[in-house]
Amino acid sequence: MLTNRFTFWYRLALTLVACLSLAGCLFVQRQIKAQENDSWLINNAGRQRFQSQLIVKDVLLLTMAPNRANTQAIRSELSVVLARWETYQENLRTGMVSTSSARIVNSDTVRSLFAAVQPYMAVISQKTQFILNQPSFAATSKNPVVTAAVNQILANEKPYLQTMDRLVQQYEEESRQKISQLSVTEWLLLGLTLLVLTLEAYLIFRPAVRALDQSVAQLSLANGETKAVNQTLQETNQTLQETQDKLLRESALRHQQQLNEQIVRMAALMQGQEDERRRLSYDLHDGIGQMLTGQKLLVEHLRSIHLLPEKEQGTYKSLKELILKTIQEVRNVSNNLMPPVLSDFGLEPALRQLAEQQARQTGLAMQVHAKQADARLDKAIEIGVYRIAQEALSNAIKHAQADEIDIDLRLSDNRLLLVVSDNGQGLTNAATKGILNGHGLHNMRERARLLNGVFRLASEPNEGTRVTVTIPLNIAEAPTLETVKKEAV
């Protein structure tokens, strides 16, 4: 009997609370939806002011701007803004919310404001459309008809903005009134709900407290068991987390080791190339060069040349010139492989010699600009930067179709900066863009990376190409091949 009575009152209280909560929820949702629509109205009413100003700006740009290169773009933008402005104004006037299917009933005050603003909007819309319909050569400030249309637009803009300001203020005032009504209703629902809950507490919950005491004791026991299980789960999760962290560290270590091994291989390859170039340079200079010089001396010491027939004398002169050209070519090849001036005097003189040599061979104007770059640097840095400059010059000569090539070398803030720029065609076609995947560019990038430097390539069509390399000069920042090998191990 007691249980049935508690059950009846409990169900009744729950039903009342549920009904009040549901009614409050539905009412609040309805008001929120209305508030969203009001926000849409206020936002778009404010946006209309901005769009009208944008229309005036585009009209002025279209009619008064001296540069007509962007006339078509301005016309397109003005047409789009005008259509959107008219659509939003119509939606605001009719109360159609574009974000939903709802329709808002405007108040009498709002409708009167829309009626007041309509003449200004009509003039602005008609005159703007009139200007858009004019040919591009006629839509200028020199056309008196267009000028009159612009003046009418400007004359109606200010009253339009003022009326729209009043419209926005009216929307805000009506929205605040709705919020006030919502607040009163919420307080009423809250009072009824609290009354029902108070009666429920005295008539239902208080008698049930005694029965709940026993349940609390049982729950406390179960809570202790749950804590023990949770502790076990936490320990298991901790073990799994440690295992995962260990796997991640090992994976990162393996990845770093692979990168270091790759750097070692690349450094060894570059060092091998330099050693081979040095050996070939010495062999050409001391071997073939000396033999050709000996041949030249033998040819020059031949006597009785004047007694030979004229044809044989011509052959003798051709042979002598060929030997001289061969000696010069061997010297050029030997110098390109390993220029002695680089090891004897440093990077700046070597770059100047390289530029002078290429200028003589190609006829291009080449200049070397050096700033505080006469100091001797680490051997690996000098060779690496020289090879990068050599490859950049070669690419500019072969592909850039340039008239001038500049080499800038600077020492600043303990860093070496090399810039090779030309005034050529830049990367303009697929054939030239193939350079990006070539071995030369790859070698320049790898040489810069081995010196812990930064390599950048910038090029625009018909704007030339610019190769920039920044190398740190600190010993700790620019490791040698032996240092890289030790770090990789």
pLDDT at residue 217 tops 70: yes
For residue 481, what pLDDT is reported?
Answer: 45
For residue 483, what pLDDT is reported?
Answer: 44
**Average confidence (pLDDT) over 255-284:** 64
pLDDT tier, 485 (very low <50, low <70, confident <90, very high otherwise): very low
pLDDT at residue 38 tops 60: yes
The vertex-408 CA angle with 404 and 412, nearest 5°, equals: 165
Residue among 454, 455, 278, 482 at smallest CA distance from 378: 482
* The two structure tokens encoding residue 299: 């040819």
- Tokens 């810069």 belong to 448
Residue among 170, 153, 34 at smallest CA distance from 108: 170
**Average confidence (pLDDT) over 185-202:** 79
| Torsion 164-170-171-172 (CA) sign | positive
pLDDT digits (tens, 9 = 90+) for 54-104: 888 888 877 776 556 667 788 888 888 888 888 888 888 887 766 555 567
pLDDT tier, 306 (very low <50, low <70, confident <90, very high otherwise): low
**Average confidence (pLDDT) over 233-258:** 86
pLDDT at residue 141 tops 60: no
For residue 14, what pLDDT is reported?
Answer: 75
Classify each residue of 379-409 as buried b or exposed e, where b means 16 or more C-beta atoms within 10 Å of its C-beta.
ebbbbbbbbbbbbbbebbbebbebeebbbbb
Superfamily in which the 342-481 domain is placed by CATH: Histidine kinase-like ATPase, C-terminal domain (3.30.565.10)
**Average confidence (pLDDT) over 234-249:** 89
Q: Which residues contact 21 (CB under 8 A, 6 or more apart)?
A: 193
d(CA 167, CA 46): 9
Q: To the nearest whole percent, how much of the chain has pLDDT over 70?
A: 71
| Torsion 14-20-26-28 (CA) sign | negative
Query: In Å, what is the CA distance from 37 to each residue of 25, 112, 170?
Result: 18, 20, 14
pLDDT at residue 484 tops 50: no
* Three-state secondary-structure class, residue 457: strand
Give backbone dihedrals phi and psi of 437, rounded to 5 degrees, phi first.
-105, 10
Write the single-letter amino acid at 50.
Answer: F
Residue with the larger pLDDT of the pair 489 and 333: 333
pLDDT at residue 456 tops 60: yes
pLDDT at residue 479 tops 70: no
For the entire predicted model, the pTM comes to: 0.41
| Torsion 104-109-115-121 (CA) sign | negative
Query: Would you tell me how many other CB atoms lie within 10 Å of the CB of residue 177?
Result: 10
d(CA 416, CA 419): 10
**Average confidence (pLDDT) over 277-306:** 63
pLDDT tier, 425 (very low <50, low <70, confident <90, very high otherwise): confident
Q: Which residues contact 430 (CB under 8 A, 6 or more apart)?
A: none
Average pLDDT, the chain: 77
For residue 164, what pLDDT is reported?
Answer: 83
Please state which of the ranges 65-74, 78-87, 283-292, 407-416 shows the lowest mean pLDDT. Answer: 283-292
Asked whether 441 and 392 are in contact (CB, 8 A), the reply is no
Residue among 7, 52, 19 at smallest CA distance from 204: 7
* The two structure tokens encoding residue 183: 């607040």
For residue 487, what pLDDT is reported?
Answer: 38
Give backbone dihedrals phi and psi of 378, rounded to 5 degrees, phi first.
-60, 140
pLDDT at residue 363 tops 70: yes
Give backbone dihedrals phi and psi of 449, rounded to 5 degrees, phi first.
-70, -40
For residue 477, what pLDDT is reported?
Answer: 45
* The two structure tokens encoding residue 307: 């007694």
Asked whether 411 and 371 are in contact (CB, 8 A), the reply is yes
pLDDT digits (tens, 9 = 90+) for 431-447: 455 566 667 788 888 88
For residue 488, what pLDDT is reported?
Answer: 37
**What are the residue ranges of helices labelled H in 284-306?**
289-300
Long-range contacts of 348-353 (CB under 8 A, 24+ apart): 348/373, 348/374, 348/409, 350/382, 350/386, 351/386, 351/389, 351/407, 351/409
